[in-house]
Every structure is written in C-alpha cells, then in structure tokens.
Amino acid sequence: MNKQQLVAEIKRKNSFLCIGLDTDINKIPKHLLDFEDPVFEFNKQIIDATHDLCVAYKPNIAFYEQYGSKGWDTLQKTIEYIPENIFTIADAKRGDIGNTAKMYAKTFFDTYGFDSVTVAPYMGNDSVLPFLDYQDKWTILLALTSNPGADDFELQKLESGKYVYQQVLETSKKWGENIMYVVGATRPEMIAEVRKIIPNHFLLVPGVGAQGGSLKEVCQYGLTDEIGLLINSSRGIIYAGTDEDFAQKSREAALQIQKEMTILLHK
C-alpha cells in the first residue's frame, strides 16, 4: 500500500486508527478456548467487529512466535483474514545487518505479506537498507518510544547538542522514501520537535489508551496535510470486554476513538 492509498483510506473512514493484535491467550474470553485455534478465533472476531473503523492492524510478533510453528500459522491466518484495503504492520522490532536483515525483510514482506515492519535502527543504515529495497513496502523505525527506559538512550544528548532520537531522525530520513517512525503518545509535546525534522513522514504512535496518551495532544503536534499519523491502541480495544460479547465491546471502544478522530480531522 502506497502513501496515496493509505491517505485515501484514512479520509474515506475518517479514521487513522491502528489496532494492535497483541493477543494473549491468558486474557481472551474463556469460551474461546474450546476452539481449535483460540487466538485466531479471537483475532477473527475483533477484525469482523472493527475493520470498518480502523485503517491498520498491528500484530505484535512476540505474541505469536512464542508458540513456535503453531503461532506462526496463527499469524499467517490472521494476516490472510485482514481485508486487503487495511494496512498491516509486523511489530517485530528487528535489527541486524547484512544477510540477516535481508532474511527478516523476506520473512515479513514476502512470506507473510505484511505492508510494513518495525525495525530498530541502532546498528545503522546496513540494518535498515535491506528492508527499503522493497519499494512497495514500509519500514517503521523506532525513534522516540513511550516506555520509561527510552530515557536511557533516546533522550541522551550527544556532543552536538542533539538528542539521540533527533540524530536517528536526521540521519535515517535520507535513506529512502518509504520510512515511517515510532513516536510515543506519552511524550506529545516532543512530537513538535519531531515534526521540525520530519514534517511529512507518517508516525506510528503507540501509547494512546491503556498507556494514558492523549489523542488530542498528539494531533495538535503531529497532524499534517496528509494526516501523517497512525494512532495505535491495543489493550484498550481488544480487551474492552471479557465475556461472549467481547467483540461488540471492542467495537464500542474503537468507535469512541474513531468518532474523536472524525472531529479532529474536520476541525
């Protein structure tokens, strides 16, 4: 999916919502455990209930690969079930060089058919360029994350006076066109600083919902003429209900965010 298609889908749905499929078998409704593949059944019902309200789904790969080959099968079934007009993100946070990076890119882009994958840029351009060889795919680089430990490295100052995350943005934006960045919603005021460096790139923004980030503040600093944001909510949507009506509860949670997005898009 190219940028024009993504923007068109956002405008059609009045939504820039991404739903994280971080599906934990210990948290899904108990009646689903009777199914042959409980995780897939949970994902399937979440997708059925929310696909008209979001523009992206983001499976967290760790929640699938922990089960070995069965988990990878569940992931593939999930990806195949997602409608083609919805952007897919492999939240894998891979980061290695050379042939290893090429194999990671092949795994998520060729084998599983994701539109994008999250990548850690710590090892430099040779850990990212193999992903950018796929012209019709997106590489989403970790930049300014929402976890407390981000202070350990991302917010350390270099001799130049720049923060590490700023250097990551300055350097990596020259590597290719199909790059997005992860910027956490729990640091909304810093999105303004991010936009000074990358005014037009799409940002994948986790932290709205269960982590306490403010959608309104993120949009205040981050919206562009082409929207430029994918706001992710995982736990706040997929675990909104715990009983047999869990999918309807998830829809209600997603609809609440989508309605707020509609207002923000038409201000």
Q: How many CB atoms lie within 10 A of CB 223?
A: 18
Query: Tokens at residue 40, please?
Result: 């897939």
Query: And the tokens for 195?
Result: 């936009």
Instruction: Give kind and range of the element (H or E) at residue 222.
Output: helix 215-222
The distance of Cα 63 from the centroid of its chain, to the nearest Å, equals: 15
Q: How far apart are CA 65 and CA 203, in angstroms?
A: 26
Residue with tokens 């455990």: 33
Contact 117, 104 (CB under 8 A): yes
Which is catalytic among the residues 3, 11, 44, 93?
93
85: exposed, middle or buried (Cβ count in 10 Å: 0-12, 13-18, 19+): middle
Which tokens sit at 17?
Answer: 């919502």
Catalytic residue status for 174: no
Instruction: Name every residue whose Cβ is closer than 8 Å to that of residue 41 and which is 6 or more positions away in sequence.
Output: 32, 35
Q: How deeply is 193 buried, as exposed, middle or buried, from its count of CB atoms within 10 A (0-12, 13-18, 19+)?
A: middle
Copy the structure tokens of residue 164. Answer: 């590490």
- At position 64, the amino acid (one-letter code) is Y
> Could you give the residue numbers annotated as active site?
93
